[in-house]
Amino acid sequence: MRIFALLLVALPSLWGEIVWTQEMRKSGLRDPFELALQYTAYEKTLELANGGDADAKYKMGEYYEQGFATDINIEKAARWYQSAAEVGHIEGAKKIGRMYEEGVGVAKDSYSAFKWYKVAADKGDTAAMSMLGDLLLFGAMQVRDYKEALRWYELAAKAENPNAIRNMGTMYATGRGVTKNSKKALELYLKAAEMGDAKAQYNLGVSHLKGWGVEIDVAQGLRWLVRASEGGHADAKCILANRYAAGDGVERDIKMATRLADEGNKLGGLFCKEVWMAFKLYEVTP
């Protein structure tokens, strides 16, 4: 009974503190208690990182990248990721490789990107093998090597990496580093698409719509584009938006077209902006 009475006294002030914390968070201010916990974790991680712990070094990179217990500092994040990579951390090697490839937090440098991707790939990481293949196939001219790209993709594909399988399809579709073979390309696209790869689903959809290496099949093409759109593929949304706007292969649906064009435009779809702007011009609303 006495405990119950104490709870009755304590609950109003406790509830007030909970509401205060929620209101403070809504206003953008951070909870001091949460910050103290973060700072304690930061200090402990920093100590381990300075002692050579690879996981701690990688975690410090994440802290600086995300602004955990510190201000966001991408340059410092890159230094910690590279420090982790230098002591054999696979995720650190992939992360700093991507940063060198894109010029984020470091000067853009394809050779350094290649170096760090290869560190992770040589340790058996299939994602790194596929990333290395991407760099060799699509990267800066000075590092392009189609034969080597195919070798890395084939290694990653053995581990069922959908990105590698899809891009092998692109190599066969375009004849880069291999004899052009549309049938082989479609087989690889289909395999990656059935694994849920939205880009492969998009490639299949467009191939069926255009008759690239296969008989034109609008219904099949649209089915694959719908799956790609559901997987977040911007250009799939844009093509479907055009189709719904014109009633081409589907029942005309301006609301659906507008929604898809808006989603695709927000995702940076190449074909969406004109459709979206046209809807805005004529004041079509979902």
In degrees and rounded to multiples of 5, residue 244 shows phi and psi of -65, -35
Distance CA 62, CA 213 (A): 44
Contacts 24+ apart (CB under 8 A), 238-242: 238/264, 238/265, 238/269, 238/270, 238/271, 238/272, 238/275, 239/205, 239/206, 239/209, 239/271, 241/272, 241/275, 241/276, 242/271, 242/275
Q: Render pLDDT for 124-134 as a digit per residue (tens, 0 to 9).
A: 999 999 999 99
Q: Which residue has the tokens 């064009």?
A: 261
Each residue of 171-192: b (16+ CB within 10 Å) or e?
Answer: bbbeebbbeebeebbbebbbbb
Q: Are 58 and 64 in contact (CB under 8 A)?
A: no
| pLDDT bracket for residue 1 (50, 70, 90) | very low
Torsion sign (Cα): 38, 42, 43, 44: positive
Q: What is residue 81's predicted lDDT score, i.e. its pLDDT?
A: 98
Per-residue pLDDT for 31 more than 70? no
What CA–CA distances, in Å, run from 180 to 26, 66, 174, 191, 267? 57, 44, 6, 18, 32
| pLDDT bracket for residue 273 (50, 70, 90) | low
Collect all residues with Cβ–Cβ distance below 8 Å to 158 and sequence separation of at least 6. none
Q: Render pLDDT for 191-227 as a digit per residue (tens, 0 to 9).
A: 999 999 999 999 999 999 999 989 999 999 999 999 9
Full-prediction pTM beyond 0.75? yes
Q: What is residue 8's predicted lDDT score, i.e. its pLDDT?
A: 41
Q: What is residue 274's predicted lDDT score, i.e. its pLDDT?
A: 62
Higher pLDDT, 170 or 7: 170
User: How many Cβ atoms sit within 10 Å of the Cβ of residue 245?
Assistant: 21
Distance CA 261, CA 256 (A): 8
Collect all residues with Cβ–Cβ distance below 8 Å to 105 and sequence separation of at least 6. 74, 75, 77, 78, 99
User: Minimum mean pLDDT among 7-16, 74-83, 234-243: which range?
Assistant: 7-16
| pLDDT bracket for residue 279 (50, 70, 90) | low
